[in-house]
């Protein structure tokens, strides 16, 4: 089954856009590989590249030695606490035994001058002295741990300071790296963008426009998305400045184009309706008829007519109705819009090449 003219035109338009999008996708994939390889031209800095190896190595060794000393002290403290607990238990047991023994001796007689009492009391004092010696040793070990902890803190502060200095240098290096990558990408992308703009401006009427359009889409993607990951910020000044420049340029050319379009339309309206009718193309005429606008000035050629009718049903009532009718001439620019077919006499749009009633070729305004 043969395609109609409109279906064929829509199919051709869809095919052209499909080709443009497919070409754009493969160009984007190819450019991502190329840009990824280009990024390798700049060396990515690492944090350890900016660390003072000798200072950090010495500090790490000192820190390990202090940790080893701390472990030894903790082990000694554990042993001392265990020994001290044993000595304390011995003292408590001996004192309790002595108290019981003394109580028994008091019952039997006076123990004050008994040598055995004195001897056992001295033994209790010896147990107590042993416990106190271990307690003193424990306090000494705890004081040594405090000193080790202080030395560890000093060493750790030194390490943190060195790493902070290294991180600041690394942060500056990352900024320069991103700027280098951005400039490398910019050198690659700007010619593509310029070529895409050239194709869009100069190749729009070319029969291979679909290919040029696909490349133009790719160049826009490369510029607005390919540069974003490494676009320097500097507090937003660069981004906002780029936005202002692009807005100003696009606004300037848009206003300039609109001004030229208005001037061209005003100049066309000064030409006779016969000359303007000759310049109306078939595609433009079909679109104008479909949207019921004048192909010359672009105004709606269907006016609204309000009609007032009255009906009497005991009381007078008023009803407003609207009717639509296409005039033969545009009421804004005077261009002939509708006329009668010279063959069948049916009223047809003056700028369509064939009559929809008899199929005969119509003639433009003379």
| Alpha-carbon gap, residue 330 to 327, rounded angstroms | 7
| pLDDT in single tens digits along all 366 residues of the chain | 344 455 777 788 888 888 889 988 998 888 888 877 777 777 778 877 888 888 888 888 988 988 898 899 889 888 888 888 887 888 787 777 777 766 666 655 555 556 766 777 777 778 788 888 888 888 888 888 899 899 989 988 988 888 888 888 888 888 888 788 878 888 888 888 888 888 887 887 788 888 888 888 888 888 777 776 665 555 456 556 766 887 888 788 888 888 887 777 666 666 655 555 555 666 666 677 777 778 777 777 776 554 445 444 444 444 445 445 667 788 777 777 788 888 887 888 777 777 877 878 776 543
66 and 206 part of one domain = yes
238 and 216 part of one domain = no
- Number of domains observed in the structure of the chain: 3
Q: In terms of Cα–Cα distance, which of 327, 321, 339 is closest to 303?
A: 327
Q: In terms of Cα–Cα distance, which of 47, 51, 53, 49 is closest to 171?
A: 47
Q: Is residue 47 part of a domain?
A: yes
DSSP string, 38-106: HHTTSPPP-GGGGS-HHHHHHHHHHHHHHHHHHHHHHHHHHHHHHHHHHHHHHHHHHHHHHHHHHHHHH
Q: Are 276 and 268 in contact (CB under 8 A)?
A: yes
What is the span of the domain harbouring residue 95?
8-232
Q: Is residue 62 part of a domain?
A: yes
The predicted pLDDT at position 22 comes to 92
Q: 134-160 as b/e, with b when 16 or more CB fall inside 10 Å? A: beebbeebeebbeebeebbeebeebbe
| Alpha-carbon gap, residue 148 to 155, rounded angstroms | 11
SS3 content of the chain, % helix, strand, coil (to 5): 70, 10, 20
266 and 328 part of one domain = no
The predicted pLDDT at position 277 comes to 58
Say which DSSP state 306 is in: E
154 and 209 part of one domain = yes
The predicted pLDDT at position 242 comes to 65
Q: Is residue 363 part of a domain?
A: no
313 and 204 part of one domain = no
- Residue 205: phi, psi to the nearest 5? -100, 5
Q: Is residue 3 part of a domain?
A: no
pTM attached to this predicted model: 0.46
214 and 238 part of one domain = no
| Alpha-carbon gap, residue 293 to 302, rounded angstroms | 8
152 and 289 part of one domain = no
259 and 321 part of one domain = no
69 and 171 part of one domain = yes
Say which DSSP state 340 is in: E
Which sign, positive or negative, has the C-alpha torsion 100, 104, 110, 114? negative
Q: Is residue 99 part of a domain?
A: yes
Last residue of a domain, one of 243, 270, 297: 270
- Which positions ≥6 away from 278 have C-beta within 8 Å? 364, 365
263 and 289 part of one domain = no
pLDDT one-digit tens code per residue, 2-48: 444 557 777 888 888 888 899 889 988 888 888 777 777 777 788 77
263 and 222 part of one domain = no
202 and 119 part of one domain = yes
The predicted pLDDT at position 1 comes to 38
Q: Is residue 1 part of a domain?
A: no
| Alpha-carbon gap, residue 137 to 145, rounded angstroms | 13
Which neighbouring-strand residues pair with 293? Answer: 300
Q: 76-87 as b/e, with b when 16 or more CB fall inside 10 Å? A: bbeebeebbeeb
Q: Is residue 20 part of a domain?
A: yes
Q: In terms of Cα–Cα distance, which of 353, 344, 41, 55 is closest to 180?
A: 41
Sequence-ordered alpha helix ranges (H) in 271-322: 273-278, 282-290
Q: Is residue 292 part of a domain?
A: yes
């Amino acid at each position: 089954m043969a395609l109609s003219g409109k279906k064929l035109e829509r199919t051709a338009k869809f095919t052209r856009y499909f080709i443009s999008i497919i070409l754009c996708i493969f160009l984007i994939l190819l450019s991502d590989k190329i840009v990824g390889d280009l990024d390798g031209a700049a060396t990515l800095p690492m944090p350890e590249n900016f660390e003072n190896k000798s200072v950090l190595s010495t500090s790490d060794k000192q820190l390990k030695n202090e940790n080893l000393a701390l472990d030894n002290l903790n082990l000694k403290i554990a042993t001392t606490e265990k020994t001290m607990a044993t000595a304390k238990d011995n003292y408590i047991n001996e004192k309790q035994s002595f108290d019981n023994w003394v109580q028994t001796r008091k019952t039997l007689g006076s123990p004050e001058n008994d040598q055995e009492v004195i001897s056992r009391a001295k033994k209790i004092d010896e147990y107590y002295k042993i416990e106190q010696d271990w307690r003193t040793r424990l306090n000494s070990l705890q004081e040594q741990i405090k000193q080790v902890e202080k030395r560890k803190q000093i060493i750790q502060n030194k390490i943190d300071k060195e790493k902070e200095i290294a991180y600041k240098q690394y942060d500056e290096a990352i900024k320069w790296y991103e700027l280098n990558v951005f400039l490398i990408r910019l050198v690659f992308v700007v010619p593509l963008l310029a070529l895409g703009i050239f194709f869009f401006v100069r190749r729009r009427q070319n029969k291979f426009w679909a290919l040029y359009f696909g490349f133009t889409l790719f160049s826009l993607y490369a510029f607005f998305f390919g540069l974003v990951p490494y676009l320097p910020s500097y507090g937003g000044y660069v981004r906002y400045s780029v936005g202002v420049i692009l807005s100003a340029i696009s606004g300037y050319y848009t206003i300039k184009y609109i001004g030229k379009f208005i001037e061209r339309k005003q100049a066309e309206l000064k030409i006779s309706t016969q000359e303007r009718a000759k310049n109306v193309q078939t595609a433009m005429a079909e679109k104008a008829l479909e949207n019921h606008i004048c192909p010359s000035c672009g105004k709606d050629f269907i006016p609204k007519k309000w009609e007032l009718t009255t009906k009497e049903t005991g009381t007078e009532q008023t009803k407003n109705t609207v009717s639509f009718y296409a005039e033969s001439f545009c009421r804004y620019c005077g261009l002939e819009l509708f006329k009668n077919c010279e063959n069948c006499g049916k009223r047809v749009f003056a700028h369509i090449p064939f009559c929809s009633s008899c199929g005969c070729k119509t003639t433009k305004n003379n």
